[in-house]
Amino acid sequence: MLEVTNLSLHYAQHLALEKVHLSLNQGETVVVLGANGAGKSSMLNVLAGRIAPDKGTEVSFLGSRLVGRKPHEFPEMGIALVPEGRGIFGDLTVAENLSLGAYVKHARAGEAERLGMVYELFPRLAERRSQIARTMSGGEQQMIAIGRALMSQPKLLMLDEPSLGLAPVLVLELFNALEKIKRTGVSLLLVEQNVKVSLNIADRGYLLEGGRVVGVNTAEALKQDPAVQQAFLGLPGAKSILPANDF
Amino acid sequence: MLLSALLTGLVLGGTYALIAMGLTLQYGVARIMNLAYGDFMIAAAFGAFVLFTSLGINPLLGMIAVIPAGFALSYAIYGVMLQPLARRAKHSGRLEVDSILATFGLLFVIQGVALVIFGANFVSYSYLAIPINILGTTLAANRVLALVLALALGAGLYYALTHTRWGTAIRAVAVSPQAAPLVGIDVDRVSRFAFALGGALAASGGVVVSMYLTFSATAGVVFTMKALVVVIMGGVGNLLGALAAGLILGIVETLVATYIDTGLTLAATYLIFLAILVFRPSGLFGRRPS
């Protein structure tokens, strides 16, 4: 459903992404792995229309071209992004955040049903629906961001390092929720530094290094891949890829 | 005397609250610091004046024409003059400076046109200048009507902004313009709408003011300043804050005028303003930046 060809991106002189090819099938969960600065976030921001890529980049989603569209058109097309830093409306309540998730026209029908689903997925949000979002913990804010994205009835849900800044217990809880979302048929594109948990829910994975794709394989194969092991799992100096503690 | 001062203060405060709500929409949502805001009000006041004196249309009915005109004109001004600035601005600081300069020019255009048509004299008209008795004090009916209108419009707007999806979307843009597109909100469109809505409120404020105050073509600046003071007192983008701060300011000004000296009202206004800027820079009800 998503086809990315020749995705390149420069910030002034700095090359952030170089000729990235990526594809994602309906219902598939794909994880993009890479260290800090590998270009993961830049890639999602291009795919959500928040940054314009270099000329020559082609992105198509269910047959429509995405490059050049304005960011607010993406949710209407069924692409939802949970950005790094979550991007929730801090001064609004939980319920208001979720209701804005259903701002796009196609999400208005069946809104109540989906709200019930989100509250079932994240019971914490149901308990705190009238609380101001910014007063909640990091993990709860992540739930709001994901819940809000689900309210827009996305076909493709993209998440930028959802585990960042969460305590290990919360990371597991979060990925359990993602697993459930996956089972509802939503395609997931996940960018992560937390290799172990993300490979557990992914079907396929891409390795990104210095803005380039250096490996593509099934999640099972990547788990066994010595290159992945070396780059991300348990080598000295690889400490920084583990999730930081909740602050 | 105290009760009478308080009631007069409430009337003035209600008007302040109404116009501050419009400015806080323009500044808090569209990020346009509109220096021509008060002149926009005065233009609407003249509109009500002309409708009343030459066509005999009372200001309440006049509002039905003046408020939509204020909306439409603001909508057009935003599209022609301000949207290009908003699009090219890379950050909100830049837009603030640009919009201040642009609307500073607009101020003189509106004022100039008003001067050409109406001259520099103070004008007023007499509508519902009947004394009515409230709790033992006498107040002109037009002032009471002004207060009722200000509160009704303010409450209506507040309800719409908190209980409808488009209202919530407007607040979402005020809170986080970066995050708004993530849920499909077109920030350009919402900004333009909010600016026009602010213009409609300025127009309604102008009509309300024309019912009980004398005004002139050059009186706009005072209202811009008062509205700005109230907006900052209440916290930028905070509607309830604007409402409360407007009422407080109106009452304080009237008390100072009644018990100390009329000449000191402006001084009192700026003393409060200064105190807020020094001790609570994000407003009485604003959140401290974290």
Residue A191 has pLDDT above 50, yes or no: yes
What pLDDT, in 10s, does the model give residues A114-146?
999 999 999 999 999 999 999 999 999 999 999
What pLDDT, in 10s, does the model give residues B194-232?
999 999 999 999 999 998 889 999 999 999 999 999 998
Q: What is the number of alpha carbons within 13 Å of residue A119 lying toward its C-beta?
A: 15
Residue B48 has pLDDT above 60, yes or no: yes
Domain limits at B269?
A: 2-279
The one-letter amino acid code at B263 reads: G
Q: Which class for A194: exposed (0-12), middle (13-18), buried (19 or more C-beta within 10 A)?
A: buried
Domain count of chain B? 1
Which three-class secondary structure state does DSSP give residue A134? Answer: helix
- The mean pLDDT value for A93-98 works out to 95
What pLDDT, in 10s, does the model give residues B145-179?
888 888 898 889 889 998 999 999 999 998 898 89
Residue A12: CB atoms within 10 A of its CB come to: 5
Q: Which two tokens stand for residue B115?
A: 């001067």
DSSP state of B36: T
Contact B184 A74 (CB under 8 A): yes
Residue A1: CB atoms within 10 A of its CB come to: 17
Whether B256 is covered by a domain: the verdict is yes
Whether B284 is covered by a domain: the verdict is no
Residue B78 has pLDDT above 60, yes or no: yes
Residues in A closer than 8 angstroms to B185, CB to CB, are 72, 100, 103
* CA nearest to A82 within chain B: B182
Residue written as token pair 């348990």: A234
Identify the CATH number of the domain in which residue B6 sits: 1.10.3470
* CA nearest to A150 within chain B: B183
pLDDT tier for residue B128 given thresholds of 50, 70 and 90 = confident
* Element counts in chain B: helices (H) and strands (E): 11, 2
Contact A72 B180 (CB under 8 A): yes
The one-letter amino acid code at A38 reads: A
Residues in B closer than 8 angstroms to A48, CB to CB, are 182
* CA nearest to B183 within chain A: A101
Contact B168 A50 (CB under 8 A): no
pLDDT tier for residue A37 given thresholds of 50, 70 and 90 = confident
Contact A72 B287 (CB under 8 A): no
Whether B32 is covered by a domain: the verdict is yes
Q: Which two tokens stand for residue B144?
A: 């009471």
Judge whether B24 and B231 are in contact, CB under 8 Å.
yes
- Percent over 70 (pLDDT), chain B: 98
In B29-177, where does DSSP find H-type helix? 37-55, 59-77, 83-88, 92-118, 141-163, 165-175
Whether B202 is covered by a domain: the verdict is yes
Nearest alpha-carbon partner for A99 in B166, B207, B137 = B166
pTM for the structure as a whole: 0.87
Whether B289 is covered by a domain: the verdict is no
CA distance B80 to B67: 20
Distance from CA of A110 to the nearest CA of B (A): 16
Q: What is the ipTM of this complex?
A: 0.86
pLDDT tier for residue B80 given thresholds of 50, 70 and 90 = very high
Nearest alpha-carbon partner for B265 in B250, B248, B246 = B250
Residues in B closer than 8 angstroms to A66, CB to CB, are none
What pLDDT, in 10s, does the model give residues A8-25?
998 888 889 999 999 999
Distance from CA of A88 to the nearest CA of B (A): 7
Nearest by CB to residue A92, choosing from B171, B181, B186, is: B171
- Percent over 90 (pLDDT), chain A: 66
**Largest pairwise CA distance in chain B:** 58
Contact A91 B175 (CB under 8 A): yes
What's the pLDDT at A240? 43
Whether B196 is covered by a domain: the verdict is yes
Kindly write down the DSSP assignment for every residue of B101-120, as one continuous string: HHHHHHHHHHHHHHHHHH-S
Residue A234 has pLDDT above 80, yes or no: no
What's the pLDDT at A247? 38
Residue A246 has pLDDT above 60, yes or no: no
Residues in B closer than 8 angstroms to A101, CB to CB, are 183
Whether B290 is covered by a domain: the verdict is no
* CA nearest to B171 within chain A: A92
Which residues numbered 82-111 in B keep a CB inside 8 Å of some CB on A?
Answer: none
Nearest by CB to residue A76, choosing from B180, B184, B287, is: B184
Residue A233 has pLDDT above 90, yes or no: no
CA distance A30 to A191: 9
CA distance A210 to A199: 21
Chain A residues whose C-beta is within 8 A of a chain B C-beta are: 48-50, 70-76, 80-81, 83, 87-92, 96, 99-101, 103-104, 148-149, 152
Q: Is B163 on the interface with A (CB under 8 A)?
A: no
Residue A52: CB atoms within 10 A of its CB come to: 12
Whether B285 is covered by a domain: the verdict is no
Residue B46 has pLDDT above 90, yes or no: yes
Q: Which two tokens stand for residue B44?
A: 């609407």
pLDDT tier for residue A231 given thresholds of 50, 70 and 90 = low
Best residue of B176, B183, B188, B239 to probe chain A, by most A CBs closer than 10 Å: B183
